[in-house]
Amino acid sequence: MTDPTPPGEDYRFGYVALVGRPNVGKSTLMNAILGQKLSIVTHKPQTTRQRIAGIKTTDKGQVVYLDTPGIHSSAGRALNKYMNRVAKATFRDVELILFLVEAGRWNRQDRRIAKALERVDAPVFLVVNKVDLVAKEELLGFVADNVESAGFAEVFLVSALKGKGVADIEQKVMEVLPFSMPFYDEDQITDRSERFLAAEMVREALTERLHQELPYAVTVEIEQFRRDKNLLRIGAIIWVERDSQKQIVIGKGGKSLKGIGRQAREALEALFGEKVFLETWVKVSRDWTRSDKMLERMGYDE
Ligand SMILES: Nc1nc2c(ncn2[C@@H]2O[C@H](COP(=O)(O)OP(=O)(O)O)[C@@H](O)[C@H]2O)c(=O)[nH]1
Ligand SMILES: [Mg+2]
């Protein structure tokens, strides 16, 4: 907010949840709205493990967008159960839900989520994302077949990746939020700590660079985070489940880990706007995704 005058009686504030199956573009949309990469994005599902709030403050209102982990169908492991709990808790605490689907696709998982949303009190806006990937006729057919009768308060056709249609969503969001003073400082962009964000950026680099199956068994713990003159010193432990995975993360002659470190450092420097010195270690902890205790240690709290 650049306007120095305090917010008036017509100022709005509220919470908005982004929901949808993995990979539909929830994190991409949140980042597009914030104009900054806060929530990590990859082409692999289930990248977002914890709820993260992105706070957008303007002179009209303050909106807290909650980026949720995707609802996961095979909730056997402790981590999957945790992610389901977080996603469900989010439904109860919000003024509005943005339900994201992919243009041209309306599968079983989408239907299940749509059904769950029927029982929610908050209004639901449907966001058909990735319209850049489908032809216009196909898109119109998709909307006619799946959307028109479904009773959504609003429907948007957008491309979060290209920023198309995003401003329209923001405008309508503002109209449904209640009149209220802002809750967060105007310069606060998230509810998460800098350490959490740092771990996420390392995890993003790992997830992008590693073999298909591996990322799910990887997590990151920030051991050191301190400002030292003009340098931000970050020490990260990369936890894997097996020795073989440790070898993969490190790579031949340390090449893989070096690449991961470089990518993560660049993301961290962009996020914090500071020069970053990043150190990484790879350690083995068996079965951490199945263990509630280990999740707790990693900071997976609600
Ligand atoms: N072509 C296209 N790709 C997108 C769009 N939005 C997101 N993606 C891609 O879809 C993938 C999943 O996005 P992400 O935001 O992580 O999905 P989430 O799991 O719902 O948070 C990433 O590779 C994104 O770059 C879009 O509007 N168009
Ligand atoms: Mg995500």
pLDDT in tens, 162-186: 999 999 999 999 999 999 999 999 9
Bigger pLDDT: 118 vs 162: 162
What's the gap in Å between 109 CA and the centre of ligand 1? 17
Q: Is 78 within 8 Å of 289 (Cβ atoms)?
A: yes
160 within ligand 1 shell (Cβ under 6 A): yes
Q: How confident is the model at residue 85 (pLDDT cuts 50, 70, 90)?
A: low
Mutate to test the pocket of ligand 1, among 34, 38, 41, 90 (most ligand atoms within 8 A of CB): 41
Mean pLDDT on 32-40: 87
Q: Tell whether the model's pLDDT for residue 157 goes beyond 60.
A: yes
Element (H, E) at 82: helix 78-92
Please tell me the predicted confidence (pLDDT) of residue 302: 41
Q: What is the pLDDT of residues 188-247, one digit of tens each?
A: 999 888 998 999 899 889 888 886 656 566 788 999 999 998 899 999 999 888 898 899
Mean pLDDT on 273-290: 85
pTM of the model: 0.81
294 within ligand 1 shell (Cβ under 6 A): no
In whole angstroms, give the CA distance from residue 155 to residue 139. 13
The amino acid that residue 173 corresponds to is: V
Please tell me the predicted confidence (pLDDT) of residue 151: 77
Ligand 1 atom 2: the closest Cα is on which residue?
130
The closest-lying atom of ligand 1 relative to the alpha carbon of residue 70 is: 19
- Chain mean pLDDT for the chain: 84
Please tell me the predicted confidence (pLDDT) of residue 129: 97
Mean pLDDT on 86-94: 72
Q: What is the pLDDT of residues 51-71, one digit of tens each?
A: 789 999 999 999 999 987 655
Token digits of residue 59: 């002179």
The amino acid that residue 73 corresponds to is: S
Closest C-alpha among 142, 19, 1 to residue 84: 19
Bigger pLDDT: 189 vs 297: 189
- 3-class SS letters over 97-162: EEEEEECCCCCHHHHHHHHHHHCCCCCEEEEEECHHHCCHHHHHHHHHHHCCCCCCCEEEECECCC
Token digits of residue 80: 């999957």
What's the gap in Å between 164 CA and the centre of ligand 1? 13
Q: Is 102 within 8 Å of 22 (Cβ atoms)?
A: no
Q: How confident is the model at residue 301 (pLDDT cuts 50, 70, 90)?
A: very low
What's the gap in Å between 296 CA and the centre of ligand 1? 29
Please work out, in degrees rounded to the nearest 5, the angle formed at the alpha carbon of residue 15 by the alpha carbons of 14 and 18.
145
Mutate to test the pocket of ligand 1, among 27, 28, 37, 107 (most ligand atoms within 8 A of CB): 28
133 within ligand 1 shell (Cβ under 6 A): yes
Share of the chain above pLDDT 70, in %: 79
Residues 6+ apart with CB under 8 A from 277: 231, 232, 233, 234, 265
Please tell me the predicted confidence (pLDDT) of residue 68: 75
109 within ligand 1 shell (Cβ under 6 A): no
Helix axes 26-34, 166-176, angle to 10 degrees: 80
Closest ligand to C-alpha of residue 49 is: 2
Q: How confident is the model at residue 82 (pLDDT cuts 50, 70, 90)?
A: low
Mean pLDDT on 266-275: 92
Mean pLDDT on 132-160: 85
Ligand 1 atom 12: the closest Cα is on which residue?
23
Closest ligand to C-alpha of residue 22 is: 1
